[in-house]
Structure formats: C-alpha cells, structure tokens
Amino acid sequence: MSDFSEKLITLLGEENLCTDEPLSAHTSFQVGGPADYWVSPENAEQLAGVMALCREESTPWYVFGRGSNVLVSDEGFRGVAISLKKGFSSCRAEGNLVYAGAGAGLGAVAAAALQHGLSGFEFAAGIPGSMGGAMVMNAGAYGGELKDVLTGATVLTPEGELLSLTGEEMELGYRTSCIQKKGYIGLEARISLEPGNPEEIRARMDELADRRKSKQPLEYPSAGSTFKRPSGYFAGKLIEEAGLRGFRVGGAQVSEKHCGFVINRDHATASEILELCRQVQNRVKEHSGVELELEVRLLGFGQ
C-alpha cells in the first residue's frame, strides 16, 4: 500500500477509500477509466483534510456528484475522485426553506419539497444531477433555474475554510457561479419555496417528466445537453441545420430525437464521444459561423 493511501485511510477510514475505481460506474455517459483513488468523506472536516493532503502531495482532485455533466477519458483520472454522496446527501425542510446537501439528487430534493407542500422546484425534478452540481452550474430547465430559488449556501474554500454565502454572493449566471470561478466546493444549498397544493405540484412534475421523456433520448446514456446555448441561438437547432442529426463516430451519436444531446448509442468510448463533439463543433462553425462550447466537463484528458 502506498504512503498516500495510508494517509487517506488515516483521514477517512479504510471503508471510505477505494483504489483503481472505474469511473464508468459513476458517470451518466457510462464511460471512463479508473480513478487512482475514490474517497467518500463523511463530513466537512474530512473533506478539508483530503483537499489539504492533495495540495501537500501535488495530487489532482475532482468532486463527483452524480457524474451527469462530465466525460472521463478512457485512461481514467490520475488523482483523487471525491464522492459527496455518503456524507452530504441530507435533505430537510424548515418552514418554506429546504436545506439540501450537495450529494442529494435533484429529484430527491424535488420530492422532499412536494412532501412538504412547497412549490417552485418542480423544474428540477427530472434533472439527473446533484445539488452540488446544480450550485456549480446554476442548473435549470423548462423556464426555471436554481438562481430563482437559492437564498444561500455553505461552501468550502480550497484552503478548507467554511463560508456561508447569500444567493447574491453565489454569483449564479448561465451555467456559472462563484463556486466554479473560485474553486469552492458547495456543501449545502438553502432553497426558498412557496406553499402550494401537493396535487398541483405533482401534476406539474408529471407534466415536465412527460415532456422530457417525449423530447429527450432518456433511453441512452448521455450527459444531457452537451453544448452550452450560444447567445441568440439554440445548440440543437444549429447542429440539426448543419446536417448532423444521427451523425455517428463509432458508438457515439448525435441523438436523432434531440440534436443537442450526444449519446452513448452502442458501447462508445470516451475518445469516440469527444471526437464526435469536436467534429460537431467544426461542422457547426463551418455552416453557421457559431462556435459551440462544451457544457460537459472533461476529466483525465491530457494527463
């Protein structure tokens, strides 16, 4: 066992460390090689300890929520993959406020809001990500976004300091936040909702679920919308107009149902998915002059 592994065990306990963990099991694309270390801190103190150790040892680290917005290389990640599911998935309601840990799935948070008769989070019920990822990217769908309901958050700085931020201090914008800009880790979100009729809340969630199922390729592994929305355009429409509906590279494909989605159609590799994305970017640029920017994060490429 390496000295680094022993230090992680001292921090976390042996039960919270795995080595050579296949990241394909932790991403919605279902691709990616192993991480050298997969750790599951149970509290903020352990998380800060892992980050401090990584700094001391010059070891890269990456925080995983539900793995719904990341593409991991076939070679994997030479570093520490940090899972927040074990210690940061709590969700509770107090009055009109919902407190949701970073590891909580957005569907679970929406279900908790429904259970307490709180309205305003229905838009997020079908987003296949975690609250932590939602705070990083200001997740949104169907006319709603986290910015509309987030009143504050607890974050951990790269130096291990806990901060309580207001919604305004989170600097939420289109697929961005201060977490992303400053390298923070979101630990808990404070969401302010309105009292509502549970039957109406459930009906709205069911309506959005039906819309999502009819318009998105949920039957295939993907990372959701693959490209950011260019100002004044829709990425899916630009891709379709470039003649790329159903375009394939190996097992990776531009969805025939929704061109804004790149899917793992048939045992694709991460390299095939990335190559497909690059070709889509080039073709759209040639056809319309618009540069598409990846919304999906890349991990382990070029290490």
Residues 220-252: tens digit of each pLDDT? 999 999 999 999 999 999 999 999 999 999 999
Residue at 165 is within a domain: yes
Tell me: pLDDT of 1 over 70.
Answer: no
What DSSP assignment string belongs to 70-82? EEE-TT-EEEEEE
The domain boundary residue, chosen from 18, 51, 83: 83
**Residue 175's pLDDT is what?**
85
Task: Give yes or no: residues 95 and 78 share one domain.
Answer: no
- Whichever domain contains 39, its CATH number is 3.30.43.10
Task: Give yes or no: residues 30 and 125 share one domain.
Answer: no
Give tens-digit pLDDT for 195-207: 999 999 999 999 9
Determine what percent of the chain is predicted with pLDDT higher than 90. Answer: 95
Dmax (CA) for the chain in angstroms is 56
Q: What are the Cα distances from residue 95, in Å, to 43, 191, 192?
A: 25, 11, 9
Residue at 161 is within a domain: yes
77-83 and 34-39 strand pairing:
parallel
What does the pLDDT average to over 36-65? Answer: 96
Angle between helices 44-56 and 3-12 (to 10 degrees): 160
**Strands annotated E in 13-138:** 17-22, 34-39, 61-64, 70-72, 77-83, 91-94, 97-101, 118-119
Task: Give yes or no: residues 183 and 123 share one domain.
Answer: yes
Residue at 118 is within a domain: yes
Total-model pTM? 0.92
Residue at 207 is within a domain: no
- Whichever domain contains 171, its CATH number is 3.30.465.10
**Residue 303's pLDDT is what?**
76
Residue at 135 is within a domain: yes
Confidence of residue 172 (pLDDT cuts 50, 70, 90): very high
What does the pLDDT average to over 157-164? Answer: 94
Catalytic machinery residues: 175, 225, 295
85: tokens are: 């599911």
> What torsion do the CA atoms of 109, 115, 120, 121 make, to the nearest 10 degrees?
20
Residue at 206 is within a domain: no
Number of domains the chain contains: 3
Q: Which residue type, as a one-letter code, is found at position 221?
A: P
Task: Give yes or no: residues 197 and 95 share one domain.
Answer: yes
Local structure of residue 35 (DSSP, 8 states): E
Task: Give yes or no: residues 99 and 182 share one domain.
Answer: yes
The domain boundary residue, chosen from 201, 230, 261: 201
The domain boundary residue, chosen from 174, 201, 228: 201
Domain that holds residue 238: 217-299
**Residue 285's pLDDT is what?**
98
**Residue 302's pLDDT is what?**
86
What does the pLDDT average to over 169-179? Answer: 93
Task: Give yes or no: residues 149 and 251 share one domain.
Answer: no
26: tokens are: 């932790």
Task: Give yes or no: residues 146 and 184 share one domain.
Answer: yes
Task: Give yes or no: residues 104 and 167 share one domain.
Answer: yes
What does the pLDDT average to over 275-301? Answer: 97
SS3 content of the chain, % helix, strand, coil (to 5): 35, 30, 35
Task: Give yes or no: residues 124 and 147 share one domain.
Answer: yes
Residue at 113 is within a domain: yes
What's CA 47's distance to the chain center, in Å? 19
Task: Give yes or no: residues 38 and 109 share one domain.
Answer: no
Task: Give yes or no: residues 191 and 254 share one domain.
Answer: no
Confidence of residue 165 (pLDDT cuts 50, 70, 90): very high
Residue at 209 is within a domain: no
Tell me: pLDDT of 265 over 70.
Answer: yes
Task: Give yes or no: residues 27 and 71 share one domain.
Answer: yes
- Whichever domain contains 253, its CATH number is 3.90.78.10
61-64 and 77-83 strand pairing:
parallel
Tell me: pLDDT of 110 over 70.
Answer: yes
- On average, the pLDDT of the chain sits at 96
SS3 (DSSP) at 40: coil
Give tens-digit pLDDT for 2-13: 899 999 999 999
